[in-house]
Amino acid sequence: MSVPARDLAPPAVVLLDLDGTLADTADDLAQAMNTLRAELGQPPLPAGALRPYVSQGARGMLGYGLDLRPGDARYVELRDRFLAIYADCCSGQARLFEGFAEVLALLRQRGLRIGIVTNKMERFAAPVLRALGAWPDADCLITPDHLARPKPDPEGVLLACARFGVEPAQCVFVGDDRRDIEAGRAAGTRTVVAAYGYLPPDEDITTWGADARIDAPAQLPALCQRWGSA
């Protein structure tokens, strides 16, 4: 899926979602869920079965891993326990998606700056980024701690633009969840689906309205260069 980009300025900033876009964090989240399941006397689930729900955060993990929904009697209690477990292992197995270290270096070499806009709380996101050596430029790590409304609301994307002192039209926002694309579009950035990420089963990403898709991180610099010369 690729639709023509809107009539926007050449990119100056690339904004990235964290889980499923920049970093593969699924194994640590699966470990936390299976630790919680063990505490509840339940057998472990394969990490691969949990993977599609990572971008949905604790809500998605609890929904699939324990069949719990917000409003259920033990949801808040077990969500808080899950997050406490995850805090102890959040950067143990996390890794950049293949090729992303080189992609970040190339984008910066070409003069683009890098920011992170994630629905992951800062107490988890910051240790992961530091462990991966991928701290964003201008300390532009935007998490729900800084916001009244997380993605899909555009508040975080607009705050990132303000941190860099650029207009949304000068930004590209890359994410693997519908909420990322909705937030970027509402803010006025170009949007890119990271189709290699944690896409839910049977999700039709062509309905998200993104400007483009990439099937591997290595495709991002060429896309930005094409938009920069358009």
Show which residues are catalytic.
17, 19
Burial class (CB in 10 A: 0-12, 13-18, 19+), 186: middle
Tell me, rounded to whole angstroms, the distance of Cα 87 from its chain centroid. 18
Q: CA-CA-CA-CA torsion for 152, 150, 140, 8, nearest 10 degrees?
A: 20
Cα–Cα distance for residue pair 124/180, rounded to 1 Å: 19
Q: Residue 213: how many CB atoms within 10 A of its CB? A: 20
Helices (H), the chain: 26-39, 47-50, 57-66, 75-87, 100-109, 122-132, 155-164, 178-187, 220-229
Indicate left, alpha or beta for 205 from its phi (over 0: left) and psi (-120 to 50: alpha): alpha
Whether the ω angle into residue 11 lies within 30 degrees of 0, i.e. cis, is no
Q: Residue 139: how many CB atoms within 10 A of its CB? A: 8
With tokens 């290595």, the residue in question is 218
Let me know: does 127 contact 90? Beta carbons within 8 Å: yes
